[in-house]
Amino acid sequence: MFANERIGDGLAKILPIKFSTTDGESTMPIINSQVKPFKATAFKNGAFVEVSDADLKGKWSVVFFYPADFTFVCPTELEDLADNYAEFQKLGVEIYSVSTDTHFAHAAWHNTSPAIGKIQYTMIGDPTLTISRNFDVLIEEAGLADRGTFVINPEGQIKIVEINDGGVGRDASELLRKIKAAQYVAAHPGEVCPAKWKEGEATLAPSLDLVGKI
């Protein structure tokens, strides 16, 4: 997995954590790695539900970490996801928001905030910090999660990662674009999506003939 190296108040870069092996040190990239096991309680549609890593398999999923309930940038991001939830559903994508708050805090926030009240997707509580640690987005000294977005394929592999500094909110429409690209590539082996690719646009088929011609 990856660890966060910070400079000042911002997240500077993502570093691979090194694992010791019999041959010395090696690294495990987060892209294409399997989601680690977890169990948690979540709030969804007025009820508390149990969620585990098994729920992330068999379909495309987004695990969307944010620092805390009852804050400022967080509700704008979660409302943006809620406003676009139907579009994610059309793609067969389920959304799981995660913070280190409890599921009780999620329920209270959902019942009091007009923005959060729009949410129909699953809001996972991570008070044990297990899930945040699993995805390497935990700010240990604060007990809070970074703004981390993870797109997971039906096989439980992480295909897209985005981690922002606390003051930088994310965009659901850009996340939708990336998911469409990931799904296209998964369904069309041998093709790749260039920069700013949108559904219906031309893709690339990497080959010797293309070298130096783009």
CATH code of the domain in which 79 resides: 3.40.30.10
Whether the pLDDT of residue 4 is over 60: the answer is no
pLDDT band at 28; cut points 50, 70, 90: low
193 a catalytic residue: no
pLDDT band at 29; cut points 50, 70, 90: confident
pLDDT of residue 55: 98
What number is the average pLDDT over the span 132-151? 97
- The active-site residue out of 51, 62, 74, 145 is 74
Q: Which domain holds residue 19?
A: 2-210
pLDDT band at 204; cut points 50, 70, 90: very high
The structural domain count of the chain equals: 1
Q: Would you give the DSSP letter of residue 140?
A: T
What number is the average pLDDT over the span 2-29? 41
Q: How far apart are CA 65 and CA 62, in angstroms?
A: 10
The torsion of the CA quartet 163, 179, 133, 4, rounded to 10 degrees, works out to -20
